[in-house]
Amino acid sequence: MSTVPSWPDAAPKAPSDSELESIHAWWRAANYLSVGQIYLMANPLLRDPLQREHVKPRLLGHWGTTPGLTFLYAHANRAIRQRGLKAMYITGPGHGGPGLVAASYLEGTYSEVYPAVGQDVDGLRRLFTQFSFPGGIPSHVAPETPGSIHEGGELGYALSHAYGAMMDRPDEIAFTVVGDGEAETGPLATSWHSNKFINPHTDGVVLPILHLNGYKIANPTVLARIPEDELADLMRGYGHTPLFFTGGFDDEDPVQTHRRFAEVLDEALDQIATIKKQAAKDAKADRTTERPAWPMIVFRSPKGWTGPKEIDGQKTEGSWRSHQVPLASARDTDEHLADLDRWLRSYEPEELFDEDGALRAEIAATAPEGELRMSANPATNGGVLRKDLRLPDFRDYTVDVQAPGGTIAEPTRVLGTWLRDVTAQNMDTFRIFGPDETASNRLQAVYDVTDKQWNAQFEDHDHAEHLAPTGRVMEMLSEHQCQGWLEGYLLTGRHGLFSSYEAFIHIVDSMVNQHAKWLKITNEIEWRAPISSLTYLLSSHVWRQDHNGFSHQDPGFIDHMVNKKAEVVRVYLPPDANTLLSTMDHCLRSKQYVNVVVAGKQPNPVWLNREDAITHCTRGLGIWEWAGTEVAGQEPDVVLACAGDIPTIETMAAAKILREKLPDLKVRVVNVVDLMRLQDDTEHPHGLSQRAFDGIFGEDIPVVFAYHGYPWLIHRLAYRHDRHSRIHVRGYKEEGTTTTPFDMLMRNDTDRYHLVMDVIDRVEGLGTAQAMLRQEMEDARVRARAYAYTHGTDIPEVADWQWGDGGDAPTAAPGVAAETGGDNE
């Protein structure tokens, strides 16, 4: 690893009154711009008397959390300037969109990326009008907001994102505001424990600031309504040193309020500097730094601080009534219009902006400059920092295959050898995340070169278990945490992989929704540079939950993902070890996608040699001529299609039965790796034209499709193709328990015998053989079930999970000619 940059020396110098007054002015300016964005579409500096037509007809947005966010931003700025900190600002309460837009505008960043919104009266008018306006910008902190890596929609991920962003950024700090609403969510509640996984020397710093704003939409928050000593216990229990601040509830002189908070923030930053210095000293002496009790700040302020105290006689500042738009009738009633006028003028805009409408220079000077501005930190537009991974050639890791299915390999174990070298060659920029399953998923080769990073207590035998103070594998039993960390890591320009159970990846359904939305929007924002894809490796999949059974069976994450925008989502079902390697190589090179890769960890036949695997993955799907019995130039009688490793085995076995029992039947075998290929080319960039589709699946012959997941997904993907009702799909239909692997297939009618029966039922003119073979297949199913129920294991003829041993397989070279010369785009 390269030398770790040192943390800036502490410079504890109490701010002067005039400094504090400048901070106060900057805060007023940010609040003024926030209120302006919510309400105004004209007369931005109130240089004319406020009229109803200056007010937007639809008032949309959230005021309540905003003034607290701007207050903290202003103070962070002072600290950055004074200490030379490299910082970003993570806004947990993302409803406060106007505050963060205001801050980036005041820092000049906004006008740099959106030149139409300049530092003048017209720019202000545009800034105000566009907010929550058709054709404008969203109401939340969003991809459109410079300096943000954290969409302010769904709550609960601020700390996970912050810690992910700070991994391997040892000289940076993330000021991370946690809303007391989001603090009630599960993901946030566990994300405090991130501090047990962060290395104080080689990673950056997260300073959590718990914003006790007091209220949600209609309720008080839990953490604002427990005694302060109980909250202090909670934070100490989470491993932090809490520092408390309360402001805004009385008539304290603002300068004094700012002074008190500056002291609290300085105390926190001094503690951090001490911790970082000690960690550097320990590293030099090759000592492990004991986990420090990092500071955090509890920041209590009234919801809607500096807003109207009362509206229509009802308490507003310090109440949930400040949550959204407190003066809902500002355009409709004189009273509300006057209230709004008073509120806006209370910030004294005439003192804040010069004649042209620009922030006065002496106030602007309270913010840092250049990339030290939190709104311009390049890590918050991580694509600009991103460098491609140094990837070892995956071809060197493939398994030798003499005949299709003639070699047996555990796909993820093979992948592990490549990932080991990917890790070793990218020690600063690649991490593997997962709840607890890197080894269980047989990727343990990575432990040859790295460890699991851990910063809680160590015991003697831990080192043998690959626990260490630094390491590229991050494991905590919270899919939310893993997802949040990885997102934060990717969003700041790095690379990673999420390895998990297929069923439980649904835990992050809602999180990945937000990430997919982020990617979709950033595709449309010119100044946002592309980031690395978020790649899932789902290895403990639905068909092999041998120890766990029904509760662990759910292949529906694929279904969930294909609802996202086509340009963002990719789904791969590599059938064996070699195609898995080729697929993952592609995924780790890609940008701006969510890649879902499903691949088993059990010993499976390898069907394709290196070249054929590359060709097959490049095409995404293809005819496996060597597996079928079709005659060149003739339309086959039936297509056996498959997607997924286990369905591929069953399809190969069904094809073998058909070859033996109905040698005259012309069977085509098709395997699908890239599920998106089944769509129409108007629906997805990977989709097939009707002509290409017919070329593979025939024009009007039956298709018996064995699919890894819920069968109707295949119909949903292929429905635009003509005559698709001829496609008959088998797959997991939610029938499971703790039983044998083959019994699982039989319960879902996806076993080889049933596939043969499906062919018999669909192909006409089979003659007398038909009924006999159907009966034979039914008998085979009965026998297989009876054997399992008696012996507890699968009947030997299927137990090997093989199409046959190598000797059974056609020895002719696979008939899939390389089309694109091994390119693995």
Site for its own copies in 543-602 (CB under 8 A): 546-552, 554, 556, 559-560, 563-565
Q: Between 169 and 211, name the residue whose CB sits nearer to its own copies.
A: 211
Q: Minimum distance between the CB of residue 229 and its own copies, rounded to whole angstroms? A: 9
Q: Between 475 and 637, name the residue whose CB sits nearer to its own copies.
A: 475
> Does 256 engage in binding with its own copies (CB under 8 A)?
no
Q: How far is CA 385 from the centre of its chain?
A: 19
> Does 17 engage in binding with its own copies (CB under 8 A)?
no
Q: Minimum distance between the CB of residue 423 and its own copies, rounded to whole angstroms? A: 17
> Does 738 engage in binding with its own copies (CB under 8 A)?
yes
- Rounded distance, CA 621 to CA 130, Å? 46
- Rounded distance, CA 319 to CA 341, Å? 21
Q: Which of 205, 211, 196 is nearest to 175 (CA)?
A: 205
C-alpha to C-alpha distances, 129 to 29, 43, 160, 325, 334, nearest whole angstrom: 17, 10, 33, 16, 21
Residue 727's φ and ψ, nearest 5 degrees, are -85, 125
Which pair of tokens denotes residue 361? 């220079």
How many chain residues bind its own copies (CB under 8 A)? 130
Q: Between 118 and 736, name the residue whose CB sits nearer to its own copies.
A: 736
Q: Minimum distance between the CB of residue 769 and its own copies, rounded to whole angstroms? A: 28
Q: Between 34 and 191, name the residue whose CB sits nearer to its own copies.
A: 191
What's the residue count for the chain?
A: 825
Which pair of tokens denotes residue 694? 């017919």
Q: What is the DSSP letter of 688?
A: B
- Rounded distance, CA 201 to CA 296, Å? 18
Among 206, 231, 581, 627, binds its own copies (CB under 8 A): 231
Q: Residue 605 in contact with residue 802, Cβ under 8 Å? A: yes
Q: Residue 597 in contact with residue 533, Cβ under 8 Å? A: no
Q: Minimum distance between the CB of residue 64 and its own copies, rounded to whole angstroms? A: 12
Measured at the CA of 683, the angle between CA 681 and CA 685, to 5 degrees, comes to 60
Among 30, 50, 80, 235, binds its own copies (CB under 8 A): 235
Site for its own copies in 154-193 (CB under 8 A): 154-156, 181-182, 184-191, 193
Q: Which stretch binds its own copies (CB under 8 A): 214-222, 386-394, 637-645, 752-760?
A: 214-222
> Does 762 engage in binding with its own copies (CB under 8 A)?
no
First vs last C-alpha separation in the chain: 30
Among 10, 46, 234, 701, binds its own copies (CB under 8 A): 234
- Rounded distance, CA 323 to CA 321, Å? 5
Q: Minimum distance between the CB of residue 689 and its own copies, rounded to whole angstroms? A: 17
- Rounded distance, CA 260 to CA 246, Å? 9
Element (H, E) at 478: none
Q: In terms of DSSP H, where are the helices of 131-253?
A: 158-166, 186-191, 228-237
Q: Minimum distance between the CB of residue 217 and its own copies, rounded to whole angstroms? A: 5
Question: Beta-strand (E) ranges in 256-319?
Answer: 295-300, 310-311, 314-315
> Does 324 engage in binding with its own copies (CB under 8 A)?
yes
Among 54, 56, 420, 431, binds its own copies (CB under 8 A): 56
Amino acid of residue 414: V
Among 15, 36, 44, 61, binds its own copies (CB under 8 A): 61
- Rounded distance, CA 588 to CA 85, Å? 32
Q: Minimum distance between the CB of residue 462 and its own copies, rounded to whole angstroms? A: 7
Q: Residue 421 in contact with residue 445, Cβ under 8 Å? A: no
> Does 357 engage in binding with its own copies (CB under 8 A)?
no
> Does 440 engage in binding with its own copies (CB under 8 A)?
yes
> Does 779 engage in binding with its own copies (CB under 8 A)?
no
> Does 793 engage in binding with its own copies (CB under 8 A)?
yes
Q: Which stretch binds its own copies (CB under 8 A): 279-287, 367-375, 461-469, 769-777?
A: 461-469
> Does 267 engage in binding with its own copies (CB under 8 A)?
no
Q: Between 15 and 200, name the residue whose CB sits nearer to its own copies.
A: 200
> Does 244 engage in binding with its own copies (CB under 8 A)?
no
Which pair of tokens denotes residue 492? 């700041």
Q: Which stretch binds its own copies (CB under 8 A): 2-10, 456-464, 641-649, 807-815?
A: 456-464
Q: Minimum distance between the CB of residue 216 and its own copies, rounded to whole angstroms? A: 5
Among 438, 470, 578, 582, binds its own copies (CB under 8 A): 438
> Does 6 engage in binding with its own copies (CB under 8 A)?
no
Q: Residue 672 in contact with residue 558, Cβ under 8 Å? A: no
Site for its own copies in 77-136 (CB under 8 A): 94, 129, 132-136
Q: Between 479 and 630, name the residue whose CB sits nearer to its own copies.
A: 479
| Residue 138 buriedness (CB in 10 A; 0-12 / 13-18 / 19+) | buried
Q: Which of 445, 468, 375 is nearest to 109 (CA)?
A: 375
Largest CA distance in the chain: 100
Q: Minimum distance between the CB of residue 552 and its own copies, rounded to whole angstroms? A: 6
Q: Minimum distance between the CB of residue 129 and its own copies, rounded to whole angstroms? A: 8
Q: Residue 297 in contact with residue 207, Cβ under 8 Å? A: yes
Q: Between 155 and 573, name the residue whose CB sits nearer to its own copies.
A: 155
- Rounded distance, CA 561 to CA 596, Å? 8
- Rounded distance, CA 702 to CA 639, Å? 6
> Does 413 engage in binding with its own copies (CB under 8 A)?
no
Q: Between 591 and 716, name the residue whose CB sits nearer to its own copies.
A: 716
Q: Between 540 and 651, name the residue whose CB sits nearer to its own copies.
A: 540
> Does 239 engage in binding with its own copies (CB under 8 A)?
yes
> Does 659 engage in binding with its own copies (CB under 8 A)?
no
Site for its own copies in 675-734 (CB under 8 A): 710, 712-713, 715-716, 719-720, 722, 724-725, 734
Residue 609's φ and ψ, nearest 5 degrees, are -75, 175
Q: Minimum distance between the CB of residue 784 and its own copies, rounded to whole angstroms? A: 10
Q: Minimum distance between the CB of residue 191 and its own copies, rounded to whole angstroms? A: 7
Site for its own copies in 476-535 (CB under 8 A): 476-481, 503-504, 506-507, 509-510, 513-514, 517, 520-521
Q: Minimum distance between the CB of residue 789 and its own copies, rounded to whole angstroms? A: 4
Kind of pairing between the strands at 667-672 and 727-730: unpaired
252 CB-side CA count, 13 A: 14
Which pair of tokens denotes residue 707? 């699919």
Q: Between 259 and 480, name the residue whose CB sits nearer to its own copies.
A: 480
C-alpha to C-alpha distances, 779 to 262, 785, 803, nearest whole angstrom: 80, 10, 20
